[in-house]
């Protein structure tokens, strides 16, 4: 098994290749080759479609008495995949294509028809130019005009390339690098400002929330009850004295006569009598069953003043 895979065979010393008989085959000898369908076709027998690229084991032969510029033409035989009908086609080196012979029809191909139409128009133009000199002049004029348009279209990119040759690419790259750094710096500053603003806003919001929470959680402290001061009684006497002094000053300011102050003193005595429960006799009251004459306020004031003078003289 390994002997057939070696690259070098053993040749004995007395090997003579001229003694090997040559195999004589007929010129129309057919070989079995493996190929793919070169184009789309349809079987004439059963109508089965055979698509381009389908693999077949075909028989190959050389076409007799046909060649193109010394190149041989080969014919291939395949069988339909449905009805096993024989389909034959051969090579076409002139058009670098294949030609269907029998057994099937070639499907429509727009590209092939377009190429054939272009070739036909080109051939007609050449024939017309050979017979008509004016047509040749017109064709040359059109060709020269088309050539000028092509040159103009090529001149534009050439001018662009020349302008580009005077451009300082290093300066451009340096300027681009500086602008990029400036843009990055500006973006960084903007980010920092936004971050600081957000931090400040969050801090203010936190302070407001803390103050609100403290107001909600702090209870109102009750006012302490006033306790009696034991030494308050000691302060009452000076307060009464100050009241009396202020009252005397106010009464003394009413007039320059000293009788008014004595009157006030007598009235304070009357008030003390009233507090003890003994009321003074009313003017016009009865004395010993007899009605006393009523006295006016001025007469009463004079009585009091006389009594004060008498007491002072005594």
Consult the annotation and say whether 80 binds a ligand: yes
Question: Where is pLDDT greater, at 279 or 171?
Answer: 171
Q: Hey, which of 88-102, 199-213, 272-286 has the most confident mean pLDDT? A: 88-102
201 pLDDT above the threshold of 80: yes
Average pLDDT of the segment spanning 252-269 = 47
> What are the two backbone dihedrals, phi and then psi, of residue 90, each rounded to the nearest 5 degrees?
-135, 165
pTM summary value: 0.37
For the stretch 158-200, pLDDT in tens is 777 766 666 677 888 888 888 899 999 999 999 999 999 999 9
**What pLDDT sits at residue 5?**
73
**What pLDDT sits at residue 79?**
94
Average pLDDT of the segment spanning 206-225 = 67
Going by pLDDT thresholds of 50, 70 and 90, the confidence category of residue 284 is very low
Mean pLDDT of the chain: 76
Question: Where is pLDDT greater, at 13 or 22?
Answer: 13
For the stretch 129-149, pLDDT in tens is 787 888 788 888 888 998 888
Consult the annotation and say whether 123 binds a ligand: no
């Amino acid at each position: 098994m390994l002997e057939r895979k070696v690259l070098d065979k053993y040749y004995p010393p007395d090997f003579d290749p001229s003694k090997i008989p040559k195999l004589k085959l007929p010129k129309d000898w057919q070989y079995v080759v493996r190929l793919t369908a070169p184009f789309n076709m349809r079987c004439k027998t059963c109508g089965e479609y055979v698509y381009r690229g389908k693999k077949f084991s075909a028989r190959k032969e050389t076409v007799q008495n046909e060649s193109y510029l010394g190149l041989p033409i080969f014919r291939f035989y395949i069988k339909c995949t449905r009805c096993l009908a024989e389909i034959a086609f051969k090579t076409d080196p002139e058009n670098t294509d294949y030609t269907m012979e029998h057994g099937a029809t070639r499907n429509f191909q727009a590209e092939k028809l377009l190429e054939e139409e272009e070739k036909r128009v080109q051939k007609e133009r050449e024939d017309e130019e050979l017979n008509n000199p004016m047509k040749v002049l017109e064709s040359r004029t059109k060709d020269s005009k088309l050539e000028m348009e092509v040159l103009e279209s090529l001149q534009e990119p050439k001018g662009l390339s020349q302008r580009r040759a005077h451009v300082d690419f290093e300066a451009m790259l340096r300027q681009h690098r500086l602008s990029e750094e400036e843009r990055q710096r500006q973006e960084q500053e903007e980010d920092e400002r936004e971050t600081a603003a957000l931090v400040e806003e969050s801090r203010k919001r936190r302070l407001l929330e803390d103050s609100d929470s403290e107001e909600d959680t702090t209870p109102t402290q009750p006012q302490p009850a006033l306790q009696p001061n034991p030494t308050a009684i000691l302060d009452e006497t000076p307060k009464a004295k100050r009241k009396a002094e202020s009252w005397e000053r106010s009464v003394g300011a009413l007039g320059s006569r000293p009788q008014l102050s004595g009157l006030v003193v007598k009235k304070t005595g009357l008030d003390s009598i009233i507090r003890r429960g003994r009321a003074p006799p009313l003017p016009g009251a009865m004395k010993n069953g007899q009605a006393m004459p009523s006295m006016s306020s001025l007469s009463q004031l004079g009585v009091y003043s006389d009594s004060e003078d008498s007491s002072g003289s005594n």
